[in-house]
């Protein structure tokens, strides 16, 4: 099983962070009984001081290079990933893609209607490379802006409804589309360090949402259990 993480700033993570990708790698190591490989063209974290994805300073230096692969970018959304995904699925022979996109699109680039068209294009392009690709999609998890901007909150809700319609329409037995539920009990002040990007608690919540859905729907791994953490040190 070859797994590709696709996402925006919440997925690539910043210098000094673990990332939810790391948490998912830990989970798979504990629970998945078969061979698997994390793949992708990028390895870097975003360096906020440099303003570019040039850091390799993961919080755990023991996170192996072979498990750091991803297709995620700071400020990148469905709009940016749709033109890239066919080649990356083909080149890395991806079997399963775990996708968390949409917040940056709605915040800066496209409305809900155009964003879901880009999501549909993403699915079509990915399947052109692997018609049996399994896709697990995270709905938009609204950030702190949605708490103060009613129009933005409405666009997030509208996009999630349109995404659910697309998943219901496009999913097939041979190439399943899985729409996750948002992370259980997500609260911006508890699960993020700045109103958008996950802290350690948020990383576990995102990884757990993917892990639980993969286990329930595709019998991959087991229900999520976080590795031992010094929870007293988690902000919030």
In a domain, 221, yes or no: yes
pLDDT at residue 226 in the model: 81
Structure confidence by residue, pLDDT tens digits, 70-90: 999 999 999 999 999 999 999
In a domain, 60, yes or no: yes
Query: Mean pLDDT across the stretch 11-22?
Result: 98
pLDDT at residue 37 in the model: 97
Query: Helix axis angle, 112-129 relative to 150-170, nearest 10°?
Result: 30
Question: Is the pLDDT score of 177 beyond 60?
Answer: yes
Confidence of residue 228 (pLDDT cuts 50, 70, 90): low
Q: CB pairs under 8 A, 24+ apart, for 109-114?
A: 109/77, 109/79, 110/77, 110/78, 110/79, 111/155, 112/155, 112/156, 112/158, 112/159, 112/162, 113/162
In a domain, 158, yes or no: no
Its domain, for residue 9, covers 2-142+167-226
In angstroms, what CA-CA distances link 185 with 23, 182, 190, 201, 205?
Answer: 18, 8, 10, 11, 9
User: d(Cα 32, Cα 165) in Å, to the nearest integer?
Assistant: 31
Structure confidence by residue, pLDDT tens digits, 93-107: 999 999 999 999 999
Which of 63-97 are b and which e, b meaning 16 or more Cβ less than 10 Å from the residue's Cβ?
beeebbbbbbbbebbbbbbbebbbebbeebebbbb
In a domain, 27, yes or no: yes
Strands 45-47 and 52-55: antiparallel
195 — alpha (psi -120 to 50), left (phi > 0) or beta? Answer: left
Q: Please give the model's pTM, rounded to 2 decimal places.
A: 0.94
User: d(Cα 25, Cα 116) in Å, to the nearest integer?
Assistant: 29
Query: Mean pLDDT across the stretch 202-228?
Result: 93
Return the CATH number at 6: 3.40.50.1110
In a domain, 78, yes or no: yes
In a domain, 234, yes or no: no
pLDDT at residue 230 in the model: 44
In a domain, 157, yes or no: no
How many structural domains does the chain have? 1
In a domain, 85, yes or no: yes
């Amino acid at each position: 099983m070859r797994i590709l993480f696709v996402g925006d700033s919440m997925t690539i993570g910043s210098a000094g962070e673990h990332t939810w990708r790391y948490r998912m790698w830990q989970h798979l190591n504990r629970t998945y009984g078969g061979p698997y490989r994390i793949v992708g063209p990028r390895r870097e974290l975003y360096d906020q001081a440099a303003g570019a994805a040039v850091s390799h300073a993961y919080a755990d230096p023991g996170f192996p290079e072979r498990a750091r692969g991803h297709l995620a970018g700071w400020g990148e959304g469905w709009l940016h990933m749709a033109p890239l995904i066919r080649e990356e699925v083909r080149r890395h022979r991806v079997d399963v893609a775990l996708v968390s996109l949409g917040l940056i699109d709605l915040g800066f680039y496209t409305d809900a209607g155009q964003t879901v068209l880009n999501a549909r294009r993403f699915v079509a392009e990915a399947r052109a490379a692997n018609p049996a690709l399994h896709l697990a999609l995270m709905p938009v998890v609204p950030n702190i802006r949605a708490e103060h901007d009613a129009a933005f909150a409405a666009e997030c809700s509208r996009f999630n409804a349109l995404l659910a319609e697309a998943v219901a329409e496009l999913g097939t037995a041979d190439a399943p589309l899985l729409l996750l539920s948002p992370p259980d009990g997500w609260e911006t002040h508890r699960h993020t360090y700045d109103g958008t990007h996950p802290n350690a608690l948020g990383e576990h919540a995102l990884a757990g949402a993917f892990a639980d859905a993969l286990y329930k729907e595709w019998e991959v791994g087991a229900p999520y259990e976080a590795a031992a953490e010094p929870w007293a040190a988690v902000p919030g």
